[in-house]
Structures are given as C-alpha cells and as structure tokens.
Structure 1
Amino acid sequence: MRNTNSPLPLSLLALLLALNACQPFSRSAQNPRLPTALQAQSNFRKNAITASFVKAYLPTVAENEPLARADAQGPAQELLNLINSAQATLDGAIYDIREPMMVQALIRAKQRGVNVRLVTESDNMGEDTNPCPQPNGQMRKVLQDLLNAGVPIVSDQRSGLMHHKFMVADRQRVWMGSTNLTNSSLFRHNNTALTLVSAPLAANYTYEFEQLFNQKNFGPPRAVLNPIVDIQGAAVKTYFSPRGGGQEAVVAALQNARKSIHFLTFSLTDPQLGEILSGKQQAGLDVRGVFDRCLSKSQYSLYWPLKRTGMQVFIDGNEALLHNKVMIIDGETVITGSYNFSKNAEKSNNESFLIVEQAPELGAAFESEYNRLQYAAQHNNPPDGQCPGTAPPSPPPCQPPDPVDPVDIQIPDFD
C-alpha cells in the first residue's frame, strides 16, 4: 500500500514549486476575504441605461488596480466607448483631467473631425507640484497636449469647485457619475458611472455645459430644461449645483422611503440628511451605509453621530478612496452623481446628480455594489495610508477662498 504520508522527494518538490512560480497570480481568485458571489461583475446594462463600477473590492491599490484596468465594463471602458464612437460633438465638464489614455482618445476624436470642448476646475490646470497656471502659460502637460490639438478648455476661475464629472456625445448620450479622468479615480477609488441614451437628458447636460463654456456662468441658480425624462420606464430627474434644488430633492426622496435606504458616501455632513436617516431607522426601516475611511475622520462627518444611534454604518475597506455619492431607496430609486452630501456641494460647487425612480433593475445593480462594498468594509484590513486633504494645501489654491459656513471648514470636496 502507498504511504500517502511520506514526504515528497526533494527533486519533485522543487519542480512543483518552480511550476507554481510560473503561474499568473490572480488575487481576485485566491483572496479568501471575498466570496465568489461578490466577485461577480455587478455592472448593469439595459439598452439606454448602463451602470458601471470601478472593480476595487480588495484591501490594497496593488490588488485592485490590475483588476480595474482589465475590466471591459468599468467606467473607464464605458467612457472610452463613448469617446471613440462620437461622430459630431463631445462636450465634457470634468473636475480633474490627467489620465493620458483618455486624453489621447479625445485628441483622436478631434483629429477625426469631432468638435471636442472641455470645462475643468481652475485649481487643476497645473501639474501636481504647482496646480495653478503660471503667468507664462505653463500648465499640466495633458491639458497642453489637448490645447495643442485644437481642443478648447475653459476653467471656472473662482473659489467654488467646478466639480462636474460628465461628458455628452452627439447630444444624444451622457456619461456621468463620481469618476474623474485620473488614474486613481478610474482604477483605484470606488466610483460609479452611468451612461444614458436620451436626447432630452442630453439636452439638460448640453445646456449646463453651454452655460459654463460659452456664458462663463458658474454661479447660482442652475436651470434644467427637462426636469423629468422617461428612459425605458424609469423617471430620471436631473439636478445641477449650486442652488439648483438638489438638497431639497434628496430630502424629499429620503422622506418618501418606505422600506430601506442604503448609501455609499465619500462625504456626508448635511445635518438635515442625518436627521432623516436616523428617523427612518427609528421607524423600522433598513438603513445602512458605508463611509470613506478618510473623510469619516472629519469632525463634521455624520459617521459617528449615526453610529451612536445604533445604525449599521461602516468604514470602507479600500486603501484608496470610497468616492461614491450614492443612495439607494427601497431598492428601486437611485441617487448618484458628483454631488457629495454636503453644504459645499449644494451652495458653492458646480455639481450634477440624477435621481432615477421606478427602476428596480438598476436599483438591484446598485444594491449588489452596495453589498460588496459593505462586505469589503467588514472583512478587509487596508493599510492606514495618508488621507488626501488632511494636511494644509501646498501650494494654496489659485483663487482666494470665499467665506464659507463654519460647518464646511475642513471638508474639502477634492477629487
């Protein structure tokens, strides 16, 4: 009888180790902290509406970035598809532009005859070592490359942030969400993007873009041409900041919740929203949320006030940022966009978000994303890296700061 407990010959053991070393290492397949069910792709596509999420569910950037880059359905690929298929126009308002892959796609679009126009945040015009454009015209190389290719770029030149993250193709298709055109935002942070095919919705975003690009109008109030757009049976409501009625709309949506509220938040500091969430939990609703690790440490974050009420709130499990701004109500209403749940987002910044109602399939996709991020928050142990924005900015912003409400101090809407 063969002795199964006998040790392997050293020569065979060495061969097995050598063969194993040659195999590609897939942490997503081998990491025991994420069950197979949570590793499945949760992106949603239904003709005119596509939801995509950055695949960043493991503890470290080193683990997440290769998976996100390989994802053929993530926000980066969806945006590339939009840019590469544009035939006549591309209008983009993006807070931060630095990913060369996206810049080259925009340049190629310009070269094939597409009218490409961009709006960005003035504080992000320069390189990281000096974000402010210099008197001699020095600016971030990728932006200079765009200008050299004939792509015009307008910046806001004010203290409030031009915090939009949207692009409109051929006045028919809109890509929007929480994702900037940076390596970190596209491949490291937890982010969301929607791609929607709708001429009336595109008209809303084109009008907002024209106000920024042509009229240089970045201030309040903001207008929407088509407040409610029907897209395949879903009621899609558009909101722009500053002071475009967004905060009131979020309040109303939360107050109408009957069963559940699940949220993913980079910054949640609005006390009125906290009161509603707490009240709904006390009324017996399933209220849960995941906060970004960095901004949960802010003295104005609602993480600890909500946790003290007994609410199930969690700190995210990603070494990089949880950058989402998402609320899912009763499993069929989704709030998502660039709009952090803060006074800055409502009063000062240029922001965009959608409230998509009567959309149970879209809601299910966002619930899937919520579940995987809550699981990661409960099981991952990411390294405690440096949180962006926790040190005084150096160099200072290009524009002198306007007075802000005390509650907004030290709550930067960076990235």
Structure 2
Amino acid sequence: MKNLVLAVALCLANGVSPAALAADAAPTVTIENAFSPDGGAEALVLKVIDSAASSIRLAAYSFSSPHVVEALLRARQRGVDVRVLADTRRNARKNSRAALDRLVGAGIPTRLISRYVLHHDKYIVADGVTVQNGSFNYTADAATANSENVIVVWHSARLAQSYLAHWENRWASGIDYARVPRP
C-alpha cells in the first residue's frame, strides 16, 4: 500500500495521472499468425494452450489432434479450467472419439453440439483475454497436410469477451460427451 501511495504521489508531482500510468502498464494487444502445413500453425495453437493460466474455452469443428489433446491435458494438470465444445457429426469417427475420450477421462468437461448443420467454429479463448482463430481444425491433417491459417490476438479482453459469449451460447446448446465404453 505504501508503494502504491508513493507511485501515485510521484505521478501527480510529475503531471502524470495515475490512470495514464495504469493504461501504460496494461499489456499491449499483439497479433501473431502462422500457416500450415509448413509455417508453424500447430505450434502457435499449442503456444496459446500452453500460455493459459486460468481458463481455456475451445470450439472445434473437427477434433482429433494428439498434440492438442496433450496440451489440453497439460493445461488441466496446471489447474487451468479447460472446456471443449465440438461438432457432433464431424467427431463420430474413431480417432475423434478417442481424443474426446481422453479429455473426458481426465476430467475435462466436453460437449458435442448438433443444433446447426455444421458447428464450424475453430477457436480458443484463453484466460478471457486471448483469442486464437482461423481455418485450422484441431487435427493432425491440419498440421501436416492441409493448407490452413491461424491468427492469435493476445491481450484483447474486448475481443475475447465477444468470442466467449458466442462460446457460452453454443455450450448451452451442447450435450455432455459420453465416453465410449471399452470392451
């Protein structure tokens, strides 16, 4: 508290408002982008997941990437509140179900949505301030075979809140994913 009072006093003595100082201390909005299969798109997606400290909300059309699954499991182990929403029809395949099974088995709330012809969203909201978006499906092919793009807007709470509201609306329309029993 003493340091805060001193900082405010120094600001006022030098003609700088405390509000201006606080604005300068706020993280700067930055943008990164990448492409695949040869331009680091998957690495940028993993960077977003690995940077999350409090929450991850992922919306997927197709979900089967082992690397994304592992990153989400690491986030969960760090105490990050992870939730995943994916298209029902697109994720009926064996590899997608195996990926979703791993998430649910680790305690990650996962829902499928069939309200739309396609739930074609592909984005992550991390910590309520960072958004990853683009054509990149969370699949191995998106990383190694397809021409895809990823864009990340870091430290934009306003943008993140817009995506988060969209995600929460879709989450409310989803149904909890049930693991496939193993023989």
TM-score (norm 1): 0.34
| Contact 2:125–2:163 (Cα < 8 Å) also in 1 | yes
| Contact 1:118–1:152 (Cα < 8 Å) also in 2 | yes
Q: Which residue of 2 aligns with 1:203?
A: 161
Q: Which residue of 2 aligns with 1:388?
A: none
Aligned length: 146
Is 2:68 aligned against 1:123? Answer: no
Is 2:119 aligned against 1:162? Answer: yes
Q: Which runs of 5+ in 1 are unaligned?
A: 1-45, 56-67, 130-138, 218-415
Of 48, 51, 56, the residue aligned with 2:33 is 51
| Contact 2:52–2:80 (Cα < 8 Å) also in 1 | yes
Supply the AA of the counterpart residue of 1:154. R
Q: Deviations over 1:308-347 (max 9, x none)?
A: xxxxxxxxxxxxxxxxxxxxxxxxxxxxxxxxxxxxxxxx
Is 2:168 aligned against 1:186? Answer: no
In the alignment, the residues of structure 2 paired with residue 81 and residue 125 of structure 1 have an alpha-carbon distance, to the nearest angstrom, of 24
In the alignment, the residues of structure 2 paired with residue 117 and residue 163 of structure 1 have an alpha-carbon distance, to the nearest angstrom, of 17
Of 63, 80, 83, the residue aligned with 1:114 is 80
Supply the AA of the counterpart residue of 2:166. E
| Contact 1:75–1:192 (Cα < 8 Å) also in 2 | yes
* Partner SS, residue 120 of structure 2: coil
1:125 CA displacement: 3.0
| Contact 2:49–2:126 (Cα < 8 Å) also in 1 | yes
Q: Which residue of 2 aligns with 1:239?
A: none
Higher RCO structure (Cα 8 Å, ≥6 apart): 2
1:127 CA displacement: 2.4
Moved over 2 A (4+): 124-129
Whose helix proportion is higher, 1 or 2? Answer: 2
In the alignment, the residues of structure 2 paired with residue 143 and residue 124 of structure 1 have an alpha-carbon distance, to the nearest angstrom, of 12
Q: Deviations over 1:164-213 (max 9, x none)?
A: 00001000100000010111112211111110021100000000011011
Instruction: Supply the RMSD in Å over aligned alpha carbons.
Output: 1.9
* Partner SS, residue 173 of structure 2: coil
In the alignment, the residues of structure 2 paired with residue 205 and residue 94 of structure 1 have an alpha-carbon distance, to the nearest angstrom, of 13
Q: Which runs of 5+ in 2 are unaligned?
A: 1-27, 175-183
Supply the AA of the counterpart residue of 1:96. S
Q: Deviations over 1:125-148 (max 9, x none)?
A: 33259xxxxxxxxx7111101000
Q: Which residue of 2 aligns with 1:276?
A: none
1:47 CA displacement: 6.1
Q: Which residue of 2 aligns with 1:87?
A: 53
| Contact 2:115–2:173 (Cα < 8 Å) also in 1 | no
In the alignment, the residues of structure 2 paired with residue 120 and residue 76 of structure 1 have an alpha-carbon distance, to the nearest angstrom, of 18
Matches for 1:5-84 after TM superposition, within 5 Å:
48-55=30-37, 68=38, 71=39, 74-84=40-50
